[in-house]
Structure 1
C-alpha cells in the first residue's frame, strides 16, 4: 500500500467516525423536537453539537477529496450531499421549534424561569456585541483568483469562510464566485450561470479539475519557491521572503497530504543553493547532526533559515561588515580603482593570445595593409595599442628601429621612402 492510499484510508475512517457522532447528535435532536415538553435550552445545545459535528465531517471530507482523482471525487460528493441533507433537515426543524416554542411558565419552577431568562438576556447581549463588532471591524478582503494553481487552495478556503458560509442560496454563491474570478478562471465557469440549478456545484467542480489538481499546486508552489536569485550576505529581507514562500508550501501541501515531496533531498539541496555560502556551510553542519537521528526535513530547514533571518535583522546582525570610528560614526567609503595585475593577451587583429607585434598574419602583410589595420582598429601608430593617438602616446622609449622616428612603429615604416613622407595621422 502506497503512502497516498494509506492516507485516503485513514481519512475515510476518520470521516466515518465523525459522521457517526453527527448522526447520534442529529437523532437526539430530532427525538427532543418530537417531545412536546422539550425546552429551548436543550434544543439549542443539541443544534450546536450537531453543527460542530457536521463541520468536522466537512473538514475531513475536503482533505479527502484533495487526494482523490476525478472519478472517486464524484462518488464522494454524492456521499457528502446525503450527509448535508440529513443535517440541514434537523437544523431547519430546530429553527422552526425555536421560533414557535416559548418557555412554559406553568411547568417550570421560578428558579428555572430566572435562569432561562438570564440565559436569554446573556444571549441577546452576546448577539448585540457580535453585531456591533462586525460593524466596527473593517470588511474582510477577499482576493481575486486568476487561474494560478498556486493561489487556488487559499482562494477556495477564503471564499468558503467569507462568502459561501454566509449565504444559503447556491445561485448567490455562484454570482459572487463569478465576480471574484478573473481571466481564464472566470472563462471556464461563465456558462454555469446559464443553468437553472446546480450551477454552483458544477462551477466549483470545474475549477477544482482545471486549477486545483494536487500535482499542479505542488509544481507551482515549488517553482515559485525556488525561482529566485541566490541570497547575498546580510540580505535579511531576502531570507524572510524565502521563509514566507517555504511556509506557504509547508501549510498548503501538508493540508493536501503531499508534504513528503518537500522532504526530498533534491528539494532541500536546491533551497540550500539559494543561501549565502556561509549559511550553506552552517546548514551542512546542522544537517550532519540531524542525519545522526534521521533524515533532515523541510520543517527543519524552515526553522534554520528563519533563525538566520531573525539574527540578520537585529541591531547586531545589521552592523556586520560595517566599520565605525571611535565616536560611533561610520567611516566614509572611498572609491578605489581596482586594477587587474594579470590580463589576458589578445591580438587586435586575429584575437588570439599574443601581442599584435608577434602576430604572424600581421607581420606577413604589406605596408598598406598594416596601416589599414591600424587605422580601422584605431591603434596608436607609435605603440600599436588602442586608446590614444601617436601625438598623445606616453611611450617615450618607443621609436622606429629603421629610421629612429618617434612617430611610428617599426612595422609601420614605409618601404623605400624617406621618414618625412611617413603618414602620422594617428
Structure 2
C-alpha cells in the first residue's frame, strides 16, 4: 500500500499506457492475489473521466480482467501508442533562432527512446514525421541538418538520426559555454617576459612589429578581434568564444587566420598540424572544434 502513491494516475493518453501498465503490474497485480483488491486499486489509479467511462466494467471483482482488456483495447494498442508519441512531437511549437533547443531535444529523445524500448523502433523511419519535426527547428539548425543528411547518404535519415545529431549539437554548445565560463572566472594572465623574448626598446617605440614577430609573440600585440592588450590566441579570445559557430568562421576568414588551428600568417593548406581534426564526436573534419557547425562563409 505504501507503494501506491508512486503509481501514476492514468489519464487516457496512449503514450502513457506502457509505463502505467508496467508499474501497475509490478506494484499491484504481482503483489495482491485477490481480483477484488486489484480492481479497487485499478479504479483508484484512473482519472475521473475514465472511471465514468468504465463504470459498467468496474462494478464487480469478476470483471477485473475484462477491465484490463478494455483499457488495453482503447489505449494500449501499439498503433495508438506510436500515433500518440508522433502527435506529441508534431504539436511541439516551432523554435525561433534565439530560443533554447534543450526542451525540444528532451521530448524528441524521450519519444525515440521509449518507442525503441517498447519494440516500435521501426516507426521512427517515417520520412513525413521527420520532415515535419525538422521544420520546427531554428533556421540555422535546419541548414546544418541538411549538411548532415548529405553526409548520411546513401542511408535514408530517420528520427533516430535526428535525435543523435541534436544531442551532438547541444553537447558542442555546452562545451563552448563551459569554456567561456572558465575564461571569465579564470582569465589567462599575460605571459611574463623570458630571456631572449622579443621586447620593445626605445629604438622600437615608433616601429610597428612585423607579422612574423606578432605571430611568435602574441603577448606584445592587440588581439585582432577584441583589440585587448596584451594579445592572446584567437582560441582563447572571450569575444571569439561567445560567438555562434558561423560568426567565428567569418571572423577567422576576415582575420585571414587558419581554419584548422586558428593560427595567423598561414591558411589551412599550409598548416603544419596536418593531423588536427574536429573534436566533436563523429565529425572528424579538418577544422577547429570551435568552428564545428558553422555555415560556409565569405568576406563581408
Matched, 1:146 2:8: no
On the 8 A contact 1:185/1:207 being kept in 2, the answer is: no
Cα distance between partner residues in 1 of 2:113 and 2:14: 15
On the 8 A contact 2:39/2:61 being kept in 1, the answer is: no
Structure 1 residues 319, 325: closer, same or farther in 2, change over 3 A? farther
Report deviation, 1:222.
0.9
Which of 1 and 2 has greater Rg?
Answer: 1
Matched, 1:210 2:74: yes
Q: After the TM superposition, which residues 377-416 of structure 1 pair with which residues of structure 2 at under 5 Å, given as runs?
A: none
Structure 1 equivalent of residue 93 of structure 2: 229
Q: 1:167 aligns with which of 20, 28, 32?
A: 32
Structure 1 equivalent of residue 199 of structure 2: none
Cα distance between partner residues in 2 of 1:281 and 1:311: 17
Structure 1 equivalent of residue 53 of structure 2: 188
Structure 1 residues 215, 196: closer, same or farther in 2, change over 3 A? closer
Structure 1 equivalent of residue 166 of structure 2: 305
Q: Aligned-residue CA RMSD in angstroms?
A: 3.3
Report deviation, 1:208.
0.8
Structure 1 residues 274, 176: closer, same or farther in 2, change over 3 A? same
**Structure 1: stretches of 5+ with no match in the other structure:** 1-134, 331-426
Q: TM-score, structure 1 length as denominator? A: 0.39
User: 1:133-163 deviations in whole A, cap 9, x for unaligned?
Assistant: xx9xx98622111112221222112212222
Q: 2:103 aligns with which of 241, 266, 277?
A: 241
Higher relative contact order (CA 8 A, sep 6+): 2
Q: TM-score, structure 2 length as denominator? A: 0.54
On the 8 A contact 1:188/1:206 being kept in 2, the answer is: no
Structure 1 residues 256, 316: closer, same or farther in 2, change over 3 A? closer
Cα distance between partner residues in 1 of 2:10 and 2:153: 41
Structure 1 equivalent of residue 43 of structure 2: 178
Report deviation, 1:313.
3.9
Cα distance between partner residues in 2 of 1:284 and 1:213: 35
Cα distance between partner residues in 1 of 2:238 and 2:109: 39
**Structure 2: stretches of 5+ with no match in the other structure:** 182-224, 230-236, 240-300
